[in-house]
Structure formats: structure tokens, C-alpha cells
Structure 1
Amino acid sequence: MKLLKMKKFRDQLLINVLASGEENAKAIYDAGEGYIVPGIAAADYSTIDEGVAKLRELKKAVPVVSIGLGGGGNFQEWKRVVQMAVEAKSEHINQPYETASYAKGYLEANNVKPMINALVMPTGIIGKVRLSTGATVDVESCLDLAAALNIDSIKVMPVKGLTHLEELVFIAKEAVKRGIRGIEPAGGIKIEHVPIMFKAIQQTHIELFMPHIFGDLLVEPGKTNHEKVRDLLTLLKGGTL
């Protein structure tokens, strides 16, 4: 998987953000010193073709692009994400837990091999997660099945900043035990939260930690502020703003 071959901050961290076009993608990628995975949210595009065109534009500036669900993790967008990925050959996509394995098989049959995450929701209880169906399940059982289905990464959303950090760390530890390679928190994350989250996640030794940071970095819908990306790198390196 091309995404896992990217250079990572301290060999573990990448940041997932939205990009509005080629120029914005290049600016945020450079500001983030290459530790950035720009992408789009499927819900922001009225047609598959529009989304594919935007993804191809981003690919002119950066080596890896991502497709998110959008709409606050709208599960109904899963199929459109897959359709865009087939056409644009995206390197990373977001899926609800229930559709991630189908998406992986379908895309591989079309010779597209992105890193695919499976979205679960925190419950406020360590060791429990909620699925898009509304079912609450044990983390261990959830990850056992994910590993058996060769799911690459677990997305946890909404983490509400640092509210569910202990749950996130538990999920990451259990994921490592099962050979799942990534953990991806999203929802309400501000740049000042990332160093704290990263310090906690580092102890789990998971291969990839990729927080999705949208609202706190956006200068307008779909466009990330490259100056704030630079600020984030400063904080990660132990600096102050």
C-alpha cells in the first residue's frame, strides 16, 4: 500500500486533511513537510465524475489522496466513495465497519488497492464500540473479525477531541495484537490535541496513527489553511505558537 510507504513523522504519524484543489494540496503538503494525506469528502460532490475530477487534480500535486465519507461520517456515502476510488485509483478510503471488507474485495477485483479503514464509534466505555447499525460490541470481537477480513485500519469517530482518548488507546493496543496496521481518530480534533494524542498512541506501537483534522484547519469549506498545518508541525516538534 502506497500510503504506508510514505515517510511518517517519527515513523508513525500522518495527518489527513481536506484539499480544495492542486494548489491547496501542494501548499498543505509542503507546510506539513510531507506528513500530509490530502483528500476530499464524497458528500461534497454531487456526482461521481466531479469527485473523480477533483481527486485527479489533487494527484498532480501529492503522491497519495484520500476519499472520506463526508457529512459527519455519513454512512450512506460508502458506495459513492468506492465508485470514486475505482475511477481515481485513490490510495486511501473511508468506509463504515460493515462495508469495509466488501469495498476491499471489490476494489482489488478492479486492480485498485487502497488502504481502507473501518469506522466505529466510541461509546464512552473502554472496550466497547458502536457500529453504524446501532449495535454496541466488544472491541476484541470487533477487531477479531476485522483482522480475519484483512481490514487495514480502524477509524474511530467522533472522538470529540480528547474526550475518548483512553478508548482510542485501548482500540489501538488491541489492533496491534491482531496485526491491524492503523488507527484513525476523527471528530472535534484541534491542532493542540494532536501532540497529546500522539504521545498516548506512541506507546501502542501501532504502525500508522492518522488523525483526521478538518474543522480546526479549514479556511473555507473543503480548503485547509496551510499556515495552520505549519503550526501543527511546530506543536508536534515541541514548539509553541
Structure 2
Amino acid sequence: MKLTPNYYKDRVALNVLAGSVDNAKDIYQAAEGHVICGVLTKNYPDNRTCVTDMKKYQTAVDNAISVGLGAGDPNQSLMVSEVSKILQPQHVNQVFTGVAQSRTMLGQSETVVNGLVSPTGKVGYVNIATGPFSSQVKTAEVPIVAAIAMLKDMGGSSIKYFPMKGLKHKDEYMYLAKACAANDFSLEPTGGIDLENFQTILEIAVEAGVKKIIPHVYSSIIDKDTGLTKPADVAKLFVMIKTVVD
């Protein structure tokens, strides 16, 4: 299995949910490999079941899988680390306080590990209290540059900005994108992204100079009847990526 993501040499890659192994294959083909297929630990009752099933996804898409929490659920933090240690996926989603744990358990620096921070309503600041205990106490607002530095200290690869609610926090997001560019850090915008606002969100990051961008597009492109991500919509998003980046 490849540890270094196929897409990571490129500037932009999609992160979308795979509802089944066949769905993952279709998604991978629709984005011509410039995608990581998210599979959520929250959907499994235990680690063993999770690992067994996720291995099928790994085989189907050359390990281009993203081990997810499930709506940023901090209670999934440990399970994500434990499962990732065994699977060695290309991408790992973590709460801010779980980054060091995941990196240590992975035992290597190639897998992309993000750290989840949330908008605060204040430009230049993010909430880092996204862990299982910290999220229950209160918001811990810190300057974005400090959050990025701490993520680097912990072995993080990128900052996951969630929940963005589309463009509701546009000014904050623009500042974050510039900070990521200035500090040579990857950015993963997440939450409320759809076919209507995707290009604008991507353009902001590209124009800011962010070197690597991994937008997460989830519920807006999932078929409500089947629960599967629509490959046709993934293809549309990929066209937008090529339009913005090329």
C-alpha cells in the first residue's frame, strides 16, 4: 500500500465520503485519482470490524482512503488513531488534541494528518478545544498562527477548518488561508461546501498562495436515496479544480 498519497504532489485534491467499496471505485475514477475517499470510524461498532472493512476500500483505490471521525466527533479520536496505526492510510482526520497521538501511533511522517479547529467569529483566531474533553469545557481561542505552529509541533500536516458553514465565515477563512500560505501549511476547508460555493472557496485558498488544499465535500453531493456520493458531482468538482488551478 502506498503511504505517500498519489494526489499529494498536486495542489488540490478532493475529500469525499465513500458509501461503499464500489462507490469508492466510482469516485476515484470520476476524479481521475485526485481524491481521497473518506470512511468514517463512527459507522463501525469496534476496531476489528472497522479495520476489516476499511482494508477493502484500501485495496479498491490504492490506499487513497481517509480515516474519518464522523461529523468531527471528538469521541472517535482514539479509535481513529488505533485503526490508522494498523491500516497506515494516506490520510487521517483528527481533532486538534489527537494529532500527536495519531502521528506517534502511525510511526511515520508520510501519512497526512489534519487537526480540526473551528471558527470563532473573530478574524485571526480559531478554537482548538475540539478534543473529547476540551470540547466539553469551553472554547479555547488562539491566534491562527499559534494553532498552526502547535499542529506542526505535534506532527500535523494540515489544518482542518470545520464547521465552515459554506461562506458564513468567509473573512475568517480568508485570513486562515493567508496564514497557511505564509507558514507553509496545508489547508482543509470543511463544512457546508457544495457545487455552488466550492469554486469560490477553492479560489480563496489558491489566490492566498496555499500550496496544498484538500476541500471536504460531503452531504451536499450524497444521493439521499442511496446514501452514496454521486460520481457525476465528483466529476463536476474535479472540472472546477482544473479550472481554478490550471
Alignment-derived partner of residue 103 in structure 1:
102
**How many pairs were matched up?**
232
Which runs of structure 2 are paired with 1:17-96 in the superposition (5 Å)?
Answer: 17-63=16-62, 64-70=64-70, 72-96=71-95
SS in 2 for 1:229: helix
- Measure the CA separation in 1 of the matches of 2:153 and 2:109: 20
Provide TM-score, normalisation by structure 2: 0.86
Q: Percent identity?
A: 27
SS in 1 for 2:235: helix
Which runs of structure 2 are paired with 1:192-207 in the superposition (5 Å)?
Answer: 192-207=196-211
Q: 1:32·1:233 contact (CA, 8 Å) conserved in 2?
A: yes
SS in 1 for 2:100: helix
- Measure the CA separation in 2 of the matches of 1:101 and 1:80: 14
Alignment-derived partner of residue 224 in structure 1:
229
Amino acid of the structure 1 residue aligned with 2:231: H
Q: 2:184·2:211 contact (CA, 8 Å) conserved in 1?
A: no
Comparing 61-70 and 153-162, the one that deviates more: 61-70
Residue 80 (structure 1) shift = 0.4
Alignment-derived partner of residue 154 in structure 2:
149
Q: 1:192·1:232 contact (CA, 8 Å) conserved in 2?
A: no
SS in 1 for 2:53: helix
Alignment-derived partner of residue 192 in structure 2:
188
Alignment-derived partner of residue 171 in structure 1:
176
Unaligned runs of 5+ in 1: none
Amino acid of the structure 1 residue aligned with 2:164: V
Provide TM-score, normalisation by structure 1: 0.88
CA distance 1:118–1:222, change in 2 (3 Å): farther
Which runs of structure 2 are paired with 1:113-128 in the superposition (5 Å)?
Answer: 113-128=110-125
- Measure the CA separation in 2 of the matches of 1:237 and 1:148: 33
Q: 2:99·2:155 contact (CA, 8 Å) conserved in 1?
A: no
Residue 192 (structure 1) shift = 2.0
Q: How well do the aligned residues superpose, as a CA RMSD in angstroms?
A: 2.1
Q: 1:21·1:57 contact (CA, 8 Å) conserved in 2?
A: no
SS in 1 for 2:220: coil
- Measure the CA separation in 1 of the matches of 2:30 and 2:149: 38
- Measure the CA separation in 2 of the matches of 1:45 and 1:172: 34
Unaligned runs of 5+ in 2: none
Q: 2:84·2:102 contact (CA, 8 Å) conserved in 1?
A: no
Amino acid of the structure 1 residue aligned with 2:219: G
- Measure the CA separation in 2 of the matches of 1:102 and 1:52: 18
SS in 1 for 2:93: strand
Residue 106 (structure 1) shift = 2.2
- Measure the CA separation in 1 of the matches of 2:163 and 2:122: 14
Alignment-derived partner of residue 2 in structure 1:
4
- Measure the CA separation in 1 of the matches of 2:51 and 2:178: 35
Residue 173 (structure 1) shift = 2.0
